[in-house]
Amino acid sequence: MSFEPFAMERWQSTWEHRVRFNLSESGVHPMRAHELLALAGAAAEPILDLALGYPQSNGSERLRAAIAAYYPGATLDHVLVTNGSAEANYLNCWRLIEPGDGVAIMLPSYMQTWGLARAFGAEVRPFRLREENGWQPDLAEIDAAIAAGTRLVIVTNPNNPTGAALSAEARNRIVARADAAGAWILSDEVYQGAERTGVLTPSLWGRSEHVIVTNGLSKAYGLPGLRIGWCVAPAAHVADLWARKDYTTIGPTVMSDALAALALAPATRGKIFERTRAIIRSNWNVLERWMSGMDGEFTYRPPDAGAICYARYRSTANSSALAEVLRRDHDVLIVPGDQFGMDRFVRLGFGLAAQDLEAALARVALAFRQVGD
């Protein structure tokens, strides 16, 4: 099996806790445990009283039931709880991709599944989100990428890094083409719930017998440290994934499972989404104001979801070189477009505390002046 490092995660893993300002994160600044308990109206004592033994390895019934409730027709057997949506994506790629399989992938995207598909020997067929189409895919490219012999179609919706949600037309076309090819669809929906507009992005769940949804608490819920994700899929497929999970992480931590069940109760989830969207809306205003004061340096489409802005910049500097200047000289971490295979773009995360965002952006402005044109 070949191995290529996951460039963006390597960059973040190495630096995110060593910089003063982290603009590489795509979610909002995280909640604290006591904030979650307060929003849920729950006492700390039952959590502190938990026996720290091995958990139910596919997730407690309470947690799986809470997740299943958001996916019409899903039961406990349709849900596997994972360590982040990253583990759910990994297990699916491991289960579904054999060398030579055709895998159609929306790009740019969170490059985990792209890297895994290549590592498992797939023949990767990208279909691109087009800047000139407001980051929607071209329908003809979808048709070309998803064709006879395609085993798996991977979408990230809402998308990272563009923040764009797929149009109904694009969703319908992807589902129709995958159906015609007899392909599985893996729909990573981890930004669902983090919409600026407040309108929940429609899930692909239920659109065919072969839809697999991954999601988790890291972005829309502001709880990445719980490391809770999930996969919702046909029961037989979930059983296969669970057997593979015995080889990866065995199960979630007991405390995370319990806190996740609190977060997913409908009333609490609603309050958490409100918190996330409030941060995104007010920080977006800060970012837009800053961009408009940058003399046309940036062109961008406002994100539909996520605390990320994928901006094209005018300077001729290489994006990785620019990100390195920012990190080394200004103590700020951003994601260079190079890490999505697209130079001359940067992904700016704006989910941090408001006063930090203003200070961080002032440093980004300095770096752009430094690299100049």
Ligand X SMILES: Cc1ncc(COP(=O)(O)O)c(C=O)c1O
Chosen residue from 190, 220, 241, 357 binding ligand X by CB under 6 A: 190
Residue (30 or 229) nearer to ligand X, CB: 229
∠ Cα 89 270 43 (to 5°): 95
Q: What are phi and psi of 309, to 5 degrees?
A: -125, 125
Report d(CA 15, CA 19) in Å as an integer. Answer: 6
Residue (181 or 305) nearer to ligand X, CB: 305
Full DSSP string of 220-280: TTS-GGG-EEEEE--HHHHHHHHHHHTTTT-S--HHHHHHHHHHHSHHHHHHHHHHHHHHH
Contacts of 324 (CB under 8 A, 6+ apart): none
Closest CA to 228 of 336, 355, 86: 86
Full DSSP string of 34-63: HHHHHHHT--SHHHHT---SPPPTT--HHH
Which residues between 18 and 47 bind ligand X (CB under 6 A)?
A: 26
Which residues between 233 and 262 bind ligand X (CB under 6 A)?
A: none
Closest CA to 266 of 202, 200, 196, 195: 200
**How many secondary structure helices (H) and strands (E) does the chain include?**
13, 14
Contact code string over 310-329 relative to ligand X, x by CB under 6 A: --------------------
3 state DSSP class of 150:
strand
Does residue number 86 form part of the binding site for ligand X (CB under 6 A)? yes
Which residues between 141 and 180 bind ligand X (CB under 6 A)?
A: 156, 160
Residue (255 or 366) nearer to ligand X, CB: 255
Residue (220 or 317) nearer to ligand X, CB: 220
Chosen residue from 55, 84, 126, 337 binding ligand X by CB under 6 A: 84
Neighbours of 134 (CB within 10 A): 13
Does residue number 229 form part of the binding site for ligand X (CB under 6 A)? yes
* Stretch of 80-88, 163-171, 309-317, 339-347 lying at the interface with ligand X (CB under 6 A): 80-88
* Stretch of 31-39, 83-91, 170-178, 321-329 lying at the interface with ligand X (CB under 6 A): 83-91
Does residue number 188 form part of the binding site for ligand X (CB under 6 A)? yes
* Stretch of 14-22, 47-55, 82-90, 295-303 lying at the interface with ligand X (CB under 6 A): 82-90
Q: Residues 60, 76: contact at Cβ < 8 Å?
A: no
* Stretch of 84-92, 94-102, 254-262, 292-300 lying at the interface with ligand X (CB under 6 A): 84-92
Q: Residues 228, 268: contact at Cβ < 8 Å?
A: no
Measured between alpha carbons, how far is residue 362 from residues 295, 322, 368, 369 in Å?
Answer: 14, 15, 10, 11
How many residues bind ligand X (CB under 6 A)? The answer is 13
Neighbours of 149 (CB within 10 A): 12
Minimum distance of ligand X from residue 25's CB (angstroms) = 8
Residue (204 or 317) nearer to ligand X, CB: 204
Residue (25 or 240) nearer to ligand X, CB: 25
Contact code string over 206-225 relative to ligand X, x by CB under 6 A: ----------x-x-----x-
Residue (86 or 260) nearer to ligand X, CB: 86
Residue (159 or 319) nearer to ligand X, CB: 159
Does residue number 276 form part of the binding site for ligand X (CB under 6 A)? no
3 state DSSP class of 332:
strand
Polymer length in residues for the chain: 373
Which residue is at the shortest CB distance from ligand X? 84
Q: Which residue has the tokens 């070949």?
A: 2
Residue 318: alpha-carbon gap to chain centroid: 25
Does residue number 304 form part of the binding site for ligand X (CB under 6 A)? no
Residue (26 or 319) nearer to ligand X, CB: 26
Minimum distance of ligand X from residue 28's CB (angstroms) = 13
Residue (22 or 160) nearer to ligand X, CB: 160
Residue numbers of the site for ligand X (CB under 6 A)? 26, 84-86, 110, 156, 160, 188, 190, 216, 218, 224, 229
